[in-house]
């Protein structure tokens, strides 16, 4: 038996509880993992609170990422004792996820835990840090260089935003952090931001073309914020869209793209190919230290995950929520 958060469908919606499950109930897969840590991400918040139909199959163990140790494997890439990380691939949505002490998954979904990280540190990074790293890799692949100007990070006090600031600073960029929490200014400057912007400047409808300000943008917010960020991006600048905290809509015009040559690139982290994942984790291993993780993440036991998901959706959380599934 093992502990897990379980989401069950009911006539009135869904029920979420901490419960005991039998290992025989685990889904199909060729690798069984003793999970050590997971985390709470925006999508986990949606799943647990039921605010969006994220869960595609019931009952479901949520948790879109995990880190732990391989206990059994019939996959050629993995053996008992290997330390692994999983981000995405539908876990916590259509396949039981990481908010449990055990998981059974497909071996091709896993990447090796970088030797510089413990499982705890890997999940302090989690999906948010991994997504931020994919963004920085994409920005550099598009040829954006530090001498071309400042990079805007929206949703800066959240998990993706926090890690984006750290990684961009390590890569030599100057970073402007957009946040609705003025109390977090010192925190964002500690991470490396040089400019703090009130999110209200970007959150309302704006002109199709505005003053050129940003050589690049990492946006986890969407909606009017993303539209304004595009309208303020310099000629041939690059905007990376990776989130929807404000909304799925994109009330913009084509003006930034056809008059300034701005590129808008979507960052999809759940199904990203393994080479992209390995590159992202390599950057994280090189550029993120233990002190940074202590500043960004705080730990809770599995028993507090459901309540913490509500706080996350209410915008009460800074940085990352790390879940110790064995507490």
Strand-pair category, 151-153 with 214-219:
parallel
Percent of the residues in the chain that have a pLDDT greater than 90, as a whole number: 90
Q: Show the CA angle centred on residue 39, arms to residues 70 and 77, nearest 5°.
A: 25
Residue 278: predicted pLDDT: 97
Compute the average pLDDT of residues 15-42.
96
Domain ranges in the chain with CATH number 3.90.180.10: 2-113+290-324
Closest alpha carbon to 114 in 307, 298, 283: 283
Q: What is the number of alpha carbons within 13 Å of residue 318 lying toward its C-beta?
A: 16
Residue 118: predicted pLDDT: 96
Compute the average pLDDT of residues 21-35.
97
Closest alpha carbon to 158 in 317, 290, 287, 311: 317
Compute the average pLDDT of residues 142-160.
96
Q: Show the CA angle centred on residue 94, arms to residues 92 and 95, nearest 5°.
A: 65
> Which pLDDT tens digit goes with each residue over 179-214?
998 899 999 999 999 999 999 999 999 999 999 999
3-state class of 78 per DSSP? coil
> Which pLDDT tens digit goes with each residue over 165-176?
999 999 999 999
Contact assessment for residue 164 and residue 136, using Cβ atoms and an 8 Å cutoff: yes
> Which pLDDT tens digit goes with each residue over 46-84?
999 998 889 999 999 999 999 999 999 999 999 999 999
Compute the average pLDDT of residues 220-238.
98
| Angle separating helix axes 274-287 and 159-170, nearest 10 degrees | 70
What value does the mean pLDDT of the chain take? 96
The domain defined by 127-266 folds into: Rossmann fold (3.40.50)
User: What separation in angstroms does the CA of 66 have from each of 119, 167, 269?
Assistant: 8, 22, 15
Closest alpha carbon to 197 in 173, 165, 172, 169: 165
Residue 55: predicted pLDDT: 95
> Which pLDDT tens digit goes with each residue over 252-262?
999 999 999 99
Percent of the residues in the chain that have a pLDDT greater than 70, as a whole number: 100
Residue 315 has pLDDT above 90, yes or no: no
Residue 318 has pLDDT above 90, yes or no: no
Residue 130 CA from chain centroid, whole number: 6
Residue 236: predicted pLDDT: 98
What gap in Å lies between CA 324 and CA 100, rounded to an integer? 9
Residue 174: predicted pLDDT: 98
Domain ranges in the chain with CATH number 3.40.50.720: 127-266
> Which pLDDT tens digit goes with each residue over 272-302?
999 999 999 999 999 998 889 988 999 999 9
Contacts of 112 (CB under 8 A, 6+ apart): 82, 83, 84, 85
Residue 290: predicted pLDDT: 86
Model confidence at 12, pLDDT cuts 50, 70, 90, reads: confident
Residue 7: predicted pLDDT: 97
> Which pLDDT tens digit goes with each residue over 75-87?
999 999 999 999 9
> Which pLDDT tens digit goes with each residue over 108-130?
999 999 999 999 999 999 999 99
Pick the CATH number of 2-113+290-324 from 3.40.50.1820, 3.30.200.20, 3.40.50.2300, 3.90.180.10: 3.90.180.10
């Amino acid at each position: 038996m093992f502990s897990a958060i379980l989401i069950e469908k009911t006539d009135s919606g869904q029920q979420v509880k901490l419960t005991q499950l039998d290992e025989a109930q685990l889904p199909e897969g060729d690798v069984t993992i003793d999970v050590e840590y997971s985390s709470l991400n925006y999508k986990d918040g949606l799943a647990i609170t039921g605010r969006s139909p994220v869960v595609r199959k019931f009952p479901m163990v949520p948790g879109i990422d995990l880190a732990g140790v391989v206990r059994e494997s019939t996959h050629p890439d993995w053996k008992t004792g290997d330390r692994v990380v999983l981000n995405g691939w539908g876990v916590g949505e259509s396949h039981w996820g990481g908010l449990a002490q055990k998981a059974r998954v497909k071996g091709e979904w896993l990447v090796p835990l970088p030797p510089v990280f413990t499982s705890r540190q890997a999940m302090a990074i989690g999906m948010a840090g991994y997504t931020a790293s994919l963004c920085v890799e994409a920005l550099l692949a598009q040829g954006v260089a530090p001498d071309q100007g400042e990079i805007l990070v929206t949703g800066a006090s959240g998990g993706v935003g926090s890690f984006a600031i750290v990684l961009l600073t390590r890569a030599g960029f100057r970073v402007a952090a957009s946040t609705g929490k003025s109390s977090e200014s010192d925190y964002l400057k500690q991470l490396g931001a040089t400019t703090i912007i009130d999110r209200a400047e970007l959150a309302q409808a704006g002109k199709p073309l505005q003053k050129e300000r940003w050589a690049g943008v990492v946006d986890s917010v969407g909606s009017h914020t993303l539209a304004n960020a595009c309208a303020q991006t310099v000629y041939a600048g690059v905007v990376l869209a990776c989130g929807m905290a404000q909304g799925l809509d994109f009330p913009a015009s084509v003006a930034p793209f056809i008059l300034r040559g701005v590129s808008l690139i979507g960052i999809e982290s759940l199904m990203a190919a393994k080479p992209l994942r390995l590159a992202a984790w390599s950057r994280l291993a090189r550029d993120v230290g233990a002190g940074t993780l202590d500043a960004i993440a705080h730990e809770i036991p599995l028993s507090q995950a459901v309540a913490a998901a509500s706080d996350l959706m209410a915008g009460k959380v800074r940085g990352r929520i790390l879940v110790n599934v064995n507490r």
